[in-house]
Amino acid sequence: MQALPAAVRQHLPQSLRKFKTSGRAWLCQLYYADPRLHYEVWNMGERRGVLELGLHFESRDREVNTALLAGFSRSMVEVKALLGPQWEAEQWDKGWSKVYETVPYEPFSTELLGTLSGRLAKAMIVLTPILNELSP
């Protein structure tokens, strides 16, 4: 997870490389202006069998999260066309929302880092303009 931000930056155009990061051993968050609206890679563990990557709306204002989810829901045909049919937009815990995909769990390796960083960068390229248009 610590190596993910640098790996993602390599796949992004210059205009999207100036993100900030936060993380823990099991997740990495990348964000621009508001840390509560962030891209995330979450290792849900071997028991759950998946890794999740996506864009999370975790504002303390439930209405902001709901409005962002509604806006992305209107764009999901485009999102799925560009990122794949496995991408979903849904409400989540604590009034939060997310646009995300899951991939099968596998232990972290150099190969997985390359795969995840490329997928997350592509998602950031597709989703950031939509987020910027919808953000309050």
| pLDDT grade for 40, boundaries at 50, 70 and 90 | very high
Comparing CA positions, the residue from 34, 33, 91 lying closest to residue 67 is 91
Cα–Cα distance list, 50 to 85, 89, 116 (Å): 17, 17, 12
More confident site: 99 or 25: 99
Distance between CA 79 and CA 65 in Å, rounded?
18
What pLDDT, on the 0 to 100 scale, is given for residue 42?
A: 94
- Residues 5-29 have a mean pLDDT of 96
Angle at 37 between CA 31 and CA 38, to 5 degrees: 40
DSSP string, 83-108: H-TT-EEEE-GGG-EEEEEEEE----
- Region for 100 from its dihedrals, namely left if φ exceeds 0, alpha if ψ lies in -120 to 50, beta otherwise: beta
What pLDDT, on the 0 to 100 scale, is given for residue 136?
A: 63
How many domains are contained in the chain?
1
- Residues 63-88 have a mean pLDDT of 97
Domain at 64, CATH number: 3.30.1460
Taking 80 as the threshold, does the pLDDT of residue 52 lie above it? Answer: yes
Helix or strand (DSSP H, E) at 121 = helix 110-134
Percent of the chain with pLDDT over 70: 99
- Residues 18-25 have a mean pLDDT of 93
Q: In this structure, are residues 24 and 136 in contact, taking their beta carbons and an 8 Å threshold? A: no
- Containing structural domain, residue 53: 4-134
| pLDDT grade for 78, boundaries at 50, 70 and 90 | very high
Percent of the chain with pLDDT over 90: 85
What pLDDT, on the 0 to 100 scale, is given for residue 46?
A: 78
Backbone angles phi, psi at 106, to 5 degrees: -150, 150
- Residues 25-29 have a mean pLDDT of 92
Instruction: Tell me the pLDDT of the chain averaged across its residues.
Output: 95
